[in-house]
A and B are shown apart, each in its own frame.
Chain A
Amino acid sequence: MSIQGKKELVVAALQNGIVIDHIPCDSLFKVVNILGIQNLENGVTIGNNLSSRSMGKKGLIKIADIDLPKETLNRIAVIAPSAVINIIKDYAVVEKHKVELPEDLIDILKCNNPKCISNNEPMKTHFHVMDGKNITLKCHYCERIVKQDEVVLK
Protein backbone atom coordinates (compact mmCIF):
# COMPACT_ATOMS: atom_id res chain seq x y z
CA MET A 1 0.00 0.00 0.00
CA SER A 2 1.51 3.32 -1.03
CA ILE A 3 1.64 6.28 1.29
CA GLN A 4 0.52 9.51 -0.27
CA GLY A 5 -0.60 12.89 0.97
CA LYS A 6 -0.39 14.60 4.28
CA LYS A 7 -3.39 12.91 5.87
CA GLU A 8 -2.10 9.45 5.27
CA LEU A 9 1.26 10.48 6.63
CA VAL A 10 -0.29 11.26 10.01
CA VAL A 11 -1.58 7.74 10.03
CA ALA A 12 1.50 6.13 8.65
CA ALA A 13 3.85 7.80 11.08
CA LEU A 14 3.22 4.79 13.25
CA GLN A 15 5.57 1.87 12.67
CA ASN A 16 3.38 -0.84 14.20
CA GLY A 17 0.06 -0.66 16.00
CA ILE A 18 -3.50 0.53 15.59
CA VAL A 19 -4.98 3.76 14.34
CA ILE A 20 -8.59 4.45 15.20
CA ASP A 21 -9.73 7.02 12.69
CA HIS A 22 -12.93 8.95 11.98
CA ILE A 23 -14.06 9.22 15.57
CA PRO A 24 -16.72 11.92 16.12
CA CYS A 25 -15.00 14.70 18.09
CA ASP A 26 -17.45 14.60 20.96
CA SER A 27 -16.92 10.84 21.37
CA LEU A 28 -13.13 10.86 21.35
CA PHE A 29 -12.57 10.78 25.09
CA LYS A 30 -15.38 8.30 25.58
CA VAL A 31 -13.56 6.00 23.17
CA VAL A 32 -10.41 6.47 25.24
CA ASN A 33 -12.45 5.48 28.27
CA ILE A 34 -14.15 2.42 26.80
CA LEU A 35 -10.85 1.00 25.61
CA GLY A 36 -9.05 1.93 28.83
CA ILE A 37 -6.36 3.70 26.83
CA GLN A 38 -5.48 5.88 29.82
CA ASN A 39 -4.09 2.77 31.53
CA LEU A 40 -1.88 1.64 28.68
CA GLU A 41 1.89 1.90 28.81
CA ASN A 42 2.21 1.87 25.02
CA GLY A 43 2.92 5.01 23.05
CA VAL A 44 -0.39 6.77 22.48
CA THR A 45 -1.12 9.78 20.29
CA ILE A 46 -4.51 11.41 20.48
CA GLY A 47 -5.70 13.98 17.99
CA ASN A 48 -8.98 15.83 17.99
CA ASN A 49 -10.73 18.41 15.81
CA LEU A 50 -8.58 17.33 12.87
CA SER A 51 -10.02 18.25 9.51
CA SER A 52 -11.75 15.46 7.65
CA ARG A 53 -13.16 15.46 4.17
CA SER A 54 -16.09 13.24 5.07
CA MET A 55 -16.86 14.43 8.61
CA GLY A 56 -15.68 18.06 8.70
CA LYS A 57 -13.83 17.43 11.93
CA LYS A 58 -12.76 14.18 13.48
CA GLY A 59 -10.83 12.57 16.27
CA LEU A 60 -8.04 10.03 15.90
CA ILE A 61 -6.14 7.73 18.24
CA LYS A 62 -2.87 5.99 17.52
CA ILE A 63 -1.61 3.24 19.77
CA ALA A 64 1.87 1.86 19.14
CA ASP A 65 2.84 -1.79 19.34
CA ILE A 66 -0.52 -3.17 20.27
CA ASP A 67 -2.83 -5.82 18.94
CA LEU A 68 -6.37 -5.46 20.23
CA PRO A 69 -8.96 -8.13 19.47
CA LYS A 70 -11.79 -7.14 17.14
CA GLU A 71 -14.37 -7.70 19.86
CA THR A 72 -12.67 -5.14 22.06
CA LEU A 73 -12.46 -2.56 19.32
CA ASN A 74 -16.05 -3.13 18.27
CA ARG A 75 -17.20 -1.97 21.68
CA ILE A 76 -16.64 1.62 20.61
CA ALA A 77 -19.22 1.27 17.80
CA VAL A 78 -21.95 2.16 20.23
CA ILE A 79 -20.69 5.76 20.51
CA ALA A 80 -18.53 6.03 17.39
CA PRO A 81 -20.24 3.98 14.68
CA SER A 82 -18.27 5.81 11.98
CA ALA A 83 -14.88 4.86 13.43
CA VAL A 84 -12.41 3.07 11.18
CA ILE A 85 -9.71 0.75 12.46
CA ASN A 86 -6.36 0.71 10.67
CA ILE A 87 -3.87 -2.00 11.54
CA ILE A 88 -0.34 -0.80 10.83
CA LYS A 89 2.65 -3.02 10.19
CA ASP A 90 5.97 -1.53 9.09
CA TYR A 91 4.39 1.85 8.38
CA ALA A 92 1.80 0.33 6.08
CA VAL A 93 -1.92 -0.15 6.56
CA VAL A 94 -2.32 -3.91 6.36
CA GLU A 95 -5.94 -4.01 7.37
CA LYS A 96 -8.70 -1.46 7.41
CA HIS A 97 -12.28 -1.95 8.59
CA LYS A 98 -15.17 -0.09 10.09
CA VAL A 99 -16.14 -0.94 13.63
CA GLU A 100 -19.16 -3.18 13.92
CA LEU A 101 -21.55 -3.25 16.80
CA PRO A 102 -21.45 -6.65 18.52
CA GLU A 103 -24.68 -8.50 19.35
CA ASP A 104 -24.25 -7.92 23.05
CA LEU A 105 -22.65 -5.12 25.05
CA ILE A 106 -21.48 -6.36 28.41
CA ASP A 107 -20.70 -3.85 31.14
CA ILE A 108 -20.05 -0.93 28.78
CA LEU A 109 -23.22 1.09 29.22
CA LYS A 110 -25.34 2.12 32.13
CA CYS A 111 -29.06 1.44 31.92
CA ASN A 112 -31.20 4.57 31.58
CA ASN A 113 -33.90 3.12 33.79
CA PRO A 114 -33.31 4.07 37.44
CA LYS A 115 -35.60 1.20 38.48
CA CYS A 116 -33.48 -1.34 36.61
CA ILE A 117 -31.85 -3.98 38.79
CA SER A 118 -28.51 -3.24 37.10
CA ASN A 119 -28.53 0.23 38.66
CA ASN A 120 -29.22 -1.15 42.11
CA GLU A 121 -26.97 -4.19 42.48
CA PRO A 122 -23.20 -4.55 42.15
CA MET A 123 -23.41 -6.36 38.78
CA LYS A 124 -22.46 -6.11 35.12
CA THR A 125 -24.83 -4.41 32.73
CA HIS A 126 -25.90 -6.20 29.57
CA PHE A 127 -27.55 -4.82 26.43
CA HIS A 128 -28.74 -6.63 23.32
CA VAL A 129 -28.25 -4.82 20.04
CA MET A 130 -31.63 -4.80 18.28
CA ASP A 131 -30.61 -2.58 15.40
CA GLY A 132 -26.93 -1.95 14.71
CA LYS A 133 -27.50 0.68 12.01
CA ASN A 134 -29.75 3.09 13.86
CA ILE A 135 -28.36 1.88 17.18
CA THR A 136 -31.27 0.53 19.14
CA LEU A 137 -30.37 -1.41 22.25
CA LYS A 138 -32.44 -3.37 24.74
CA CYS A 139 -31.46 -3.85 28.36
CA HIS A 140 -31.13 -7.58 29.01
CA TYR A 141 -32.64 -7.09 32.47
CA CYS A 142 -35.37 -4.44 32.48
CA GLU A 143 -36.02 -4.72 28.70
CA ARG A 144 -35.90 -0.94 28.30
CA ILE A 145 -35.17 0.20 24.73
CA VAL A 146 -32.27 2.65 24.46
CA LYS A 147 -31.52 4.72 21.34
CA GLN A 148 -28.14 6.08 20.36
CA ASP A 149 -28.77 9.60 21.68
CA GLU A 150 -29.70 8.16 25.08
CA VAL A 151 -26.63 5.98 25.53
CA VAL A 152 -24.83 6.50 28.86
CA LEU A 153 -21.42 4.96 29.47
CA LYS A 154 -20.86 3.04 32.66
Chain B
Amino acid sequence: MQKRNLLSISDLSKEEILALLKRAKEFEKNPNQHLLDGKVVGSLFFEPSTRTRLSFETAVNRLGGRVIGFSDARTSSQSKGETLKDTIMMVANYADLIVMRHPLEGAARYASEISKVPIVNAGDGSNQHPSQTMLDLYTIYQTQGTLENLTITMVGDLKYGRTVHSLLEAMRFFNPHFIFVACDELRMPKQYKEYCKKLGIEYEETKNFSPEVINKTDILYMTRVQRERFSDLMEYERVKNVYTLTASMLKGCKPNLRVLHPLPRVTEITQDVDDTPQAYYFQQALNGLYTREAIICRALGL
Protein backbone atom coordinates (compact mmCIF):
# COMPACT_ATOMS: atom_id res chain seq x y z
CA MET B 1 0.00 0.00 0.00
CA GLN B 2 1.32 3.35 -1.00
CA LYS B 3 0.84 6.19 1.48
CA ARG B 4 -0.28 9.26 -0.40
CA ASN B 5 -1.27 12.29 1.60
CA LEU B 6 -3.38 15.09 0.22
CA LEU B 7 -2.28 18.22 2.05
CA SER B 8 -2.24 21.04 -0.45
CA ILE B 9 -3.54 21.31 -4.01
CA SER B 10 -0.13 22.61 -5.08
CA ASP B 11 1.38 19.20 -4.24
CA LEU B 12 -0.55 17.62 -7.13
CA SER B 13 0.78 17.35 -10.67
CA LYS B 14 -1.45 17.79 -13.71
CA GLU B 15 -1.49 14.01 -14.20
CA GLU B 16 -2.51 13.42 -10.59
CA ILE B 17 -5.32 15.97 -10.87
CA LEU B 18 -6.62 14.36 -14.06
CA ALA B 19 -6.37 10.88 -12.54
CA LEU B 20 -8.43 12.02 -9.55
CA LEU B 21 -11.07 13.56 -11.82
CA LYS B 22 -11.28 10.37 -13.83
CA ARG B 23 -11.71 8.36 -10.68
CA ALA B 24 -14.38 10.75 -9.41
CA LYS B 25 -16.31 10.22 -12.62
CA GLU B 26 -16.45 6.50 -11.92
CA PHE B 27 -17.87 7.23 -8.49
CA GLU B 28 -20.43 9.56 -10.01
CA LYS B 29 -21.68 6.64 -12.10
CA ASN B 30 -21.61 4.30 -9.15
CA PRO B 31 -21.01 5.84 -5.71
CA ASN B 32 -21.41 2.54 -3.86
CA GLN B 33 -18.28 0.48 -4.30
CA HIS B 34 -17.03 -1.72 -1.53
CA LEU B 35 -13.38 -0.80 -1.81
CA LEU B 36 -12.91 0.01 1.88
CA ASP B 37 -14.24 -3.23 3.33
CA GLY B 38 -12.51 -3.82 6.65
CA LYS B 39 -10.89 -0.38 6.61
CA VAL B 40 -11.21 2.21 9.37
CA VAL B 41 -10.96 5.92 8.64
CA GLY B 42 -10.19 8.42 11.39
CA SER B 43 -12.28 11.56 10.96
CA LEU B 44 -10.71 14.18 13.21
CA PHE B 45 -12.52 17.50 13.23
CA PHE B 46 -10.63 19.71 15.66
CA GLU B 47 -13.06 22.44 14.68
CA PRO B 48 -16.62 21.84 13.58
CA SER B 49 -17.46 21.80 9.87
CA THR B 50 -20.62 19.85 9.38
CA ARG B 51 -20.72 20.18 5.60
CA THR B 52 -17.20 18.87 4.99
CA ARG B 53 -17.42 16.19 7.66
CA LEU B 54 -20.69 14.75 6.36
CA SER B 55 -19.31 14.70 2.85
CA PHE B 56 -16.16 12.81 3.87
CA GLU B 57 -17.96 10.43 6.19
CA THR B 58 -20.59 9.68 3.55
CA ALA B 59 -17.76 8.96 1.11
CA VAL B 60 -16.26 6.43 3.55
CA ASN B 61 -19.64 4.83 4.16
CA ARG B 62 -20.42 4.57 0.45
CA LEU B 63 -17.08 2.82 0.01
CA GLY B 64 -17.97 0.36 2.73
CA GLY B 65 -15.49 1.61 5.33
CA ARG B 66 -15.97 2.49 8.97
CA VAL B 67 -15.46 5.88 10.60
CA ILE B 68 -14.02 6.68 14.02
CA GLY B 69 -13.28 10.15 15.34
CA PHE B 70 -14.80 13.32 16.70
CA SER B 71 -16.62 16.28 15.25
CA ASP B 72 -15.54 18.96 17.68
CA ALA B 73 -12.31 19.38 19.66
CA ARG B 74 -14.29 20.19 22.79
CA THR B 75 -15.29 16.54 23.01
CA SER B 76 -11.80 15.25 22.31
CA SER B 77 -8.67 14.92 24.38
CA GLN B 78 -7.38 18.15 22.81
CA SER B 79 -9.53 19.96 25.31
CA LYS B 80 -7.40 18.36 28.04
CA GLY B 81 -4.34 19.95 26.47
CA GLU B 82 -3.11 16.98 24.48
CA THR B 83 -0.76 17.94 21.67
CA LEU B 84 -1.73 17.34 18.07
CA LYS B 85 1.17 14.94 17.83
CA ASP B 86 -0.14 12.73 20.60
CA THR B 87 -3.65 12.65 19.15
CA ILE B 88 -2.32 11.72 15.70
CA MET B 89 -0.01 9.03 17.11
CA MET B 90 -2.92 7.50 18.94
CA VAL B 91 -5.40 7.55 16.05
CA ALA B 92 -2.76 6.32 13.57
CA ASN B 93 -2.63 3.15 15.68
CA TYR B 94 -6.30 2.50 15.03
CA ALA B 95 -7.09 3.91 11.59
CA ASP B 96 -5.89 3.16 8.06
CA LEU B 97 -6.29 6.77 7.02
CA ILE B 98 -6.85 10.08 8.80
CA VAL B 99 -9.08 12.85 7.47
CA MET B 100 -8.52 15.96 9.54
CA ARG B 101 -9.80 19.49 9.89
CA HIS B 102 -7.87 21.82 12.17
CA PRO B 103 -8.09 25.54 12.98
CA LEU B 104 -4.31 26.00 12.80
CA GLU B 105 -2.50 26.46 9.51
CA GLY B 106 -0.04 23.75 8.57
CA ALA B 107 -1.57 21.27 11.03
CA ALA B 108 -2.19 18.64 8.34
CA ARG B 109 1.34 18.81 6.96
CA TYR B 110 2.76 18.46 10.46
CA ALA B 111 0.44 15.53 11.13
CA SER B 112 1.64 13.86 7.91
CA GLU B 113 5.21 14.01 9.20
CA ILE B 114 4.40 12.11 12.37
CA SER B 115 1.64 9.80 11.18
CA LYS B 116 2.33 6.33 9.85
CA VAL B 117 -0.97 6.39 7.94
CA PRO B 118 -1.86 8.85 5.16
CA ILE B 119 -3.39 12.22 6.01
CA VAL B 120 -6.08 13.96 4.00
CA ASN B 121 -6.39 17.64 4.79
CA ALA B 122 -10.02 18.67 5.18
CA GLY B 123 -9.03 22.28 5.87
CA ASP B 124 -6.27 23.79 7.99
CA GLY B 125 -7.26 27.27 9.13
CA SER B 126 -7.24 29.69 6.23
CA ASN B 127 -4.44 27.78 4.52
CA GLN B 128 -5.55 24.82 2.37
CA HIS B 129 -8.68 22.84 1.63
CA PRO B 130 -7.67 20.64 -1.30
CA SER B 131 -10.82 18.51 -1.46
CA GLN B 132 -12.83 21.70 -2.02
CA THR B 133 -10.53 22.61 -4.90
CA MET B 134 -10.82 19.12 -6.38
CA LEU B 135 -14.60 19.29 -6.30
CA ASP B 136 -14.45 22.73 -7.94
CA LEU B 137 -12.24 21.32 -10.68
CA TYR B 138 -14.52 18.33 -11.11
CA THR B 139 -17.54 20.60 -11.42
CA ILE B 140 -15.82 22.78 -13.99
CA TYR B 141 -14.83 19.70 -15.98
CA GLN B 142 -18.31 18.23 -15.68
CA THR B 143 -20.10 21.36 -16.86
CA GLN B 144 -17.68 22.47 -19.57
CA GLY B 145 -16.42 19.11 -20.81
CA THR B 146 -12.86 20.39 -20.44
CA LEU B 147 -10.60 22.31 -18.09
CA GLU B 148 -8.66 23.92 -20.94
CA ASN B 149 -8.91 27.52 -22.19
CA LEU B 150 -11.81 28.63 -19.98
CA THR B 151 -12.66 32.13 -18.81
CA ILE B 152 -13.14 31.96 -15.08
CA THR B 153 -14.56 34.99 -13.31
CA MET B 154 -14.06 35.19 -9.55
CA VAL B 155 -16.30 37.57 -7.65
CA GLY B 156 -16.46 38.87 -4.10
CA ASP B 157 -13.81 38.24 -1.46
CA LEU B 158 -10.68 37.54 -3.45
CA LYS B 159 -8.38 38.66 -0.65
CA TYR B 160 -9.19 36.20 2.11
CA GLY B 161 -11.04 33.54 0.12
CA ARG B 162 -8.77 30.51 0.17
CA THR B 163 -11.00 28.63 -2.27
CA VAL B 164 -10.31 31.13 -5.04
CA HIS B 165 -6.57 31.11 -4.34
CA SER B 166 -6.39 27.32 -4.46
CA LEU B 167 -8.54 27.16 -7.58
CA LEU B 168 -6.27 29.69 -9.24
CA GLU B 169 -3.23 27.55 -8.43
CA ALA B 170 -4.88 24.34 -9.57
CA MET B 171 -5.95 25.86 -12.90
CA ARG B 172 -2.36 26.76 -13.78
CA PHE B 173 -2.07 23.61 -15.90
CA PHE B 174 -5.07 24.42 -18.08
CA ASN B 175 -4.40 27.77 -19.73
CA PRO B 176 -7.21 29.70 -18.02
CA HIS B 177 -8.21 33.32 -18.48
CA PHE B 178 -9.18 34.88 -15.15
CA ILE B 179 -11.32 37.90 -14.43
CA PHE B 180 -11.02 39.12 -10.83
CA VAL B 181 -14.03 41.16 -9.72
CA ALA B 182 -13.72 42.74 -6.28
CA CYS B 183 -13.76 46.02 -4.41
CA ASP B 184 -10.48 47.64 -3.38
CA GLU B 185 -10.60 46.14 0.12
CA LEU B 186 -10.95 42.58 -1.14
CA ARG B 187 -8.79 42.56 -4.26
CA MET B 188 -6.80 39.51 -5.33
CA PRO B 189 -3.50 39.72 -3.38
CA LYS B 190 -0.40 40.78 -5.27
CA GLN B 191 1.21 37.42 -4.54
CA TYR B 192 -1.34 35.61 -6.73
CA LYS B 193 -1.22 38.15 -9.52
CA GLU B 194 2.55 37.79 -9.59
CA TYR B 195 2.04 34.04 -9.66
CA CYS B 196 -0.14 34.43 -12.78
CA LYS B 197 2.38 36.72 -14.44
CA LYS B 198 5.22 34.33 -13.74
CA LEU B 199 3.32 31.44 -15.30
CA GLY B 200 1.98 33.48 -18.22
CA ILE B 201 -1.64 33.16 -17.06
CA GLU B 202 -3.87 35.90 -18.45
CA TYR B 203 -5.98 37.90 -16.02
CA GLU B 204 -8.04 41.06 -15.88
CA GLU B 205 -8.98 42.93 -12.77
CA THR B 206 -12.07 45.10 -12.31
CA LYS B 207 -14.31 46.57 -9.65
CA ASN B 208 -17.20 46.46 -12.04
CA PHE B 209 -19.44 43.39 -11.93
CA SER B 210 -20.80 44.30 -15.36
CA PRO B 211 -22.72 42.51 -18.14
CA GLU B 212 -19.59 42.69 -20.33
CA VAL B 213 -17.73 40.63 -17.76
CA ILE B 214 -20.52 38.12 -17.25
CA ASN B 215 -21.17 37.70 -20.97
CA LYS B 216 -17.68 36.46 -21.74
CA THR B 217 -17.50 34.14 -18.74
CA ASP B 218 -17.59 30.33 -18.75
CA ILE B 219 -17.40 29.80 -15.00
CA LEU B 220 -18.74 32.41 -12.61
CA TYR B 221 -17.23 31.64 -9.23
CA MET B 222 -19.05 33.59 -6.52
CA THR B 223 -17.75 33.94 -2.95
CA ARG B 224 -19.13 35.22 0.29
CA VAL B 225 -18.26 38.76 1.33
CA GLN B 226 -18.01 38.63 5.10
CA ARG B 227 -18.86 41.55 7.33
CA GLU B 228 -15.89 40.94 9.63
CA ARG B 229 -13.49 41.79 6.79
CA PHE B 230 -14.58 45.44 6.89
CA SER B 231 -13.60 48.12 9.37
CA ASP B 232 -16.25 50.39 7.87
CA LEU B 233 -19.73 48.84 8.04
CA MET B 234 -21.18 51.37 5.59
CA GLU B 235 -18.63 50.18 3.08
CA TYR B 236 -19.67 46.58 3.75
CA GLU B 237 -23.32 47.33 3.07
CA ARG B 238 -22.41 49.01 -0.20
CA VAL B 239 -20.02 46.30 -1.40
CA LYS B 240 -22.32 43.46 -0.39
CA ASN B 241 -24.97 44.67 -2.83
CA VAL B 242 -22.59 45.49 -5.66
CA TYR B 243 -21.26 41.92 -5.73
CA THR B 244 -24.61 40.16 -5.57
CA LEU B 245 -25.69 38.05 -8.52
CA THR B 246 -29.35 38.15 -9.60
CA ALA B 247 -31.12 36.15 -12.31
CA SER B 248 -31.56 39.18 -14.56
CA MET B 249 -27.80 39.66 -14.74
CA LEU B 250 -27.52 36.31 -16.54
CA LYS B 251 -29.78 37.32 -19.45
CA GLY B 252 -27.02 37.77 -22.02
CA CYS B 253 -24.62 35.13 -20.73
CA LYS B 254 -23.03 32.31 -22.73
CA PRO B 255 -25.21 29.19 -22.71
CA ASN B 256 -22.46 27.12 -21.14
CA LEU B 257 -21.94 29.54 -18.22
CA ARG B 258 -22.34 27.93 -14.82
CA VAL B 259 -22.47 29.66 -11.46
CA LEU B 260 -20.39 28.04 -8.71
CA HIS B 261 -20.15 28.89 -5.03
CA PRO B 262 -18.33 27.00 -2.24
CA LEU B 263 -21.41 27.43 0.01
CA PRO B 264 -22.82 28.40 2.40
CA ARG B 265 -24.09 31.45 0.60
CA VAL B 266 -25.68 34.38 2.36
CA THR B 267 -26.86 37.17 0.10
CA GLU B 268 -24.37 37.09 -2.77
CA ILE B 269 -26.60 34.94 -4.98
CA THR B 270 -30.28 35.81 -4.88
CA GLN B 271 -32.85 33.00 -4.67
CA ASP B 272 -34.13 33.63 -8.21
CA VAL B 273 -30.78 32.50 -9.62
CA ASP B 274 -31.52 29.01 -8.25
CA ASP B 275 -34.15 28.53 -10.95
CA THR B 276 -31.88 29.45 -13.87
CA PRO B 277 -30.09 26.76 -15.90
CA GLN B 278 -26.84 28.46 -14.91
CA ALA B 279 -27.16 27.69 -11.19
CA TYR B 280 -24.88 24.80 -10.34
CA TYR B 281 -23.80 25.24 -6.72
CA PHE B 282 -25.95 22.46 -5.30
CA GLN B 283 -24.65 19.90 -7.81
CA GLN B 284 -21.19 21.27 -7.04
CA ALA B 285 -21.65 20.33 -3.40
CA LEU B 286 -22.79 16.84 -4.38
CA ASN B 287 -19.66 16.44 -6.49
CA GLY B 288 -17.78 16.72 -3.20
CA LEU B 289 -18.88 13.19 -2.44
CA TYR B 290 -17.43 11.70 -5.65
CA THR B 291 -14.18 13.61 -5.48
CA ARG B 292 -13.72 12.68 -1.81
CA GLU B 293 -14.27 9.03 -2.63
CA ALA B 294 -11.53 9.39 -5.25
CA ILE B 295 -9.24 11.21 -2.79
CA ILE B 296 -9.72 8.51 -0.13
CA CYS B 297 -8.92 5.73 -2.61
CA ARG B 298 -5.84 7.55 -3.84
CA ALA B 299 -4.62 8.07 -0.27
CA LEU B 300 -4.89 4.34 0.39
CA GLY B 301 -3.31 3.37 -2.91
CA LEU B 302 -6.50 1.62 -3.98
Contacts and interface: CB of A to CB of B under 8 A. Distances in A.
Interface of A: 113, 115-118, 120-123, 139-145
Contacts of A113: 105
Given A121-B85, A122-B83, A141-B105, A115 B110 contact: no
Contact of B84 (A121, A139, A142): A121
A117 B105 contact: yes
Contacts of B107: 117, 141
Interface in B91-142: 102-107, 109-110, 124-128
Give the interface size bracket for B toward A: 10 to 19
A87 B126 CA distance: 46
A117 B128 CA distance: 13
11 contacts: A117-B102, A117-B106, A117-B110, A121-B83, A121-B85, A123-B85, A142-B106, A142-B125, A143-B105, A144-B105, A145-B191
Nearest to B114: A123
Contacts of B110: 117-118, 121, 123, 141
Contact of A115 (B8, B85, B125): B125
Nearest to A143: B127
B204 to A, nearest CB: 24
Nearest to A145: B191
A41 B83 CA distance: 37
Nearest to A111: B106
Given A143-B8, A143-B127, A143-B128, A115 B104 contact: yes
B251 to A, nearest CB: 41
Nearest to B104: A117
B161 to A, nearest CB: 15
B84 A117 contact: yes
Contacts of A144: 105
Given A123-B85, A142-B104, 16 more contacts: A116-B104, A116-B106, A117-B105, A117-B106, A117-B124, A122-B85, A123-B110, A140-B109, A141-B106, A141-B107, A141-B110, A142-B105, A142-B124, A142-B125, A143-B105, A143-B127
A143 to B, nearest CB: 6
B208 to A, nearest CB: 30
A29 B57 CA distance: 53
B191 A139 contact: no
A122 B103 CA distance: 17
A122 B110 CA distance: 11
A141 B102 CA distance: 13
A123 B110 CA distance: 9
Contacts of A141: 105-107, 109-110
A96 to B, nearest CB: 35
B28 to A, nearest CB: 31
B102, B104, B105, B109 — most chain A CB neighbours (10 Å): B105
Interface in B227-264: none
Contacts of B83: 121-122
A131 to B, nearest CB: 12
A146 to B, nearest CB: 12
Contacts of A145: 191
Contacts of B104: 115-117, 120, 142
A113 B105 CA distance: 9
Interface in B45-92: 83-85
Max chain A C-beta neighbours (<10 A), residue from B8, B83, B85, B110: B110
A145 B190 CA distance: 12
Contacts of B124: 117, 142
B164 to A, nearest CB: 16
Q: Which 6 A-B pairs have the closest CB atoms?
A: A141-B106, A142-B105, A142-B106, A117-B106, A117-B107, A117-B104
Nearest to B85: A121
